[in-house]
Structure 1
Amino acid sequence: MNTPTWFKVVAVLALLWNLLGCLAFFSDLRLSPEDLAELPEAQQALYAARAGWAIAATAIAVFGGALGSIGLLLRKKWAFPVFALSLLGILVQDFGLFVLADGMRLAGPVAVVMQAIVLAIGIGLVLLSRKGIARGWLV
């Protein structure tokens, strides 16, 4: 079955989005103690409050999203479970950030909006891959 052009365009955009997430993740890991000391006090507190499992969840979210996007481009069914795992990573990351680390107060409303966008895109990619399987676009 022919895959619609819009599906391919969305798959490319999804890959670019998730590669940006991977870049942001690596940039975050590379922050030196000096870099952290230059951040506002609230952001320093947020970094100090992050648990290792929340950082691991972020890795699962971004790398799962990139891999799932590659699956979409290759028209593979395995994109669906990979996106589902990525979405789980987003949810766990958000729990660590906003529930346990009080990220709403420490990071501010911009971080809340950004994470809401990340969550919406994660849900959208799970639904898109499921639709792709149902329509026979992913094999």
Structure 2
Amino acid sequence: MTEEQNNNGITTWFWVIGWGALVWNLLGVMSYIMTVTMSPEIMAELPEAQQELMNNTPAWATGAFAFAVFGGAFGSLALLMKRKLALPLFIVSFVGIVVQLYHSLFMSNSIEVYGPGGVIMPIMVFLFGIGLIWIARHSISKGWLK
């Protein structure tokens, strides 16, 4: 057993990525919950352009947000529990990411409203989504997930 491996040949980076993915996706869940439960008083404190963007977000884009963050959170839990279910959950999450990304970049004025962060963050989320699918596939091929 090498210094990077622990029980069943699973490397330390697997656990670091798994816990990091869980924290990342739980932050996404918090963001989703804060978005859909925002009170009118808090909404009124946002800049007008941001209020308009949020009020004009279609239900399917908000639903994609939910699939992205909850799929990612449950996928991360499945990964940490060493379950193959992580892969389909990460795929569901990724589909949600793609749908949400499409809306943000091509159907709304989010880049105008949020500036460069309106592009950088969604692309970063997209890359993380790809990475989590790769991690799950790699872990399955190594026999780490049952």
Q: TM-score range by the shorter chain?
A: over 0.9
> Which structure would you say has the larger RCO, counting Cα contacts within 8 Å and 6 or more residues apart?
1
**Which is higher, the Rg of structure 1 or of structure 2?**
2
Partner residue of 1:58 out of 65, 69, 72: 65
Q: Which residue of 1 aligns with 2:39?
A: 32
CA offsets, 1:40-98, max 9 Å, x none? 12211211220001000000000000000011101111101110110000110111222
Q: How many Å apart are 1:111 and its aligned residue?
A: 2.5
Residue of structure 1 equivalent to 2:98: 91
Q: In terms of mean alpha carbon deviation, does 103-112 or 17-26 score higher? A: 103-112
Alpha-carbon distance, 1:29 to partner = 1.3
Normalised by the size of structure 2, how large is the TM-score?
0.90
Gaps in structure 2 of 5+ consecutive residues: 1-7
- Among 88, 100, 119, the residue aligned to 1:81: 88
Q: Which residue of 2 aligns with 1:18?
A: 25
1:126 matched residue in structure 2: 133
2:110 aligns with 103
What stretches of structure 1 of length at least 5 have no aligned partner?
Answer: none
Partner of 2:4: none
The alignment of Structure 1 onto Structure 2 pairs a total of residues equal to: 139
Tell me how large the CA RMSD over aligned residues is: 1.1
Give distance in 2, aligned partners of 1:133 and 1:87. 18
Cα drift, residue 106 of structure 1 = 2.3
| Equivalent position of 1:47 in the other structure | 54
Per the alignment, residue 5 of structure 2 pairs with none
Superposed displacement of residue 2, structure 1 = 2.1
Structure 1 vs Structure 2: percent identity of aligned residues? Answer: 43
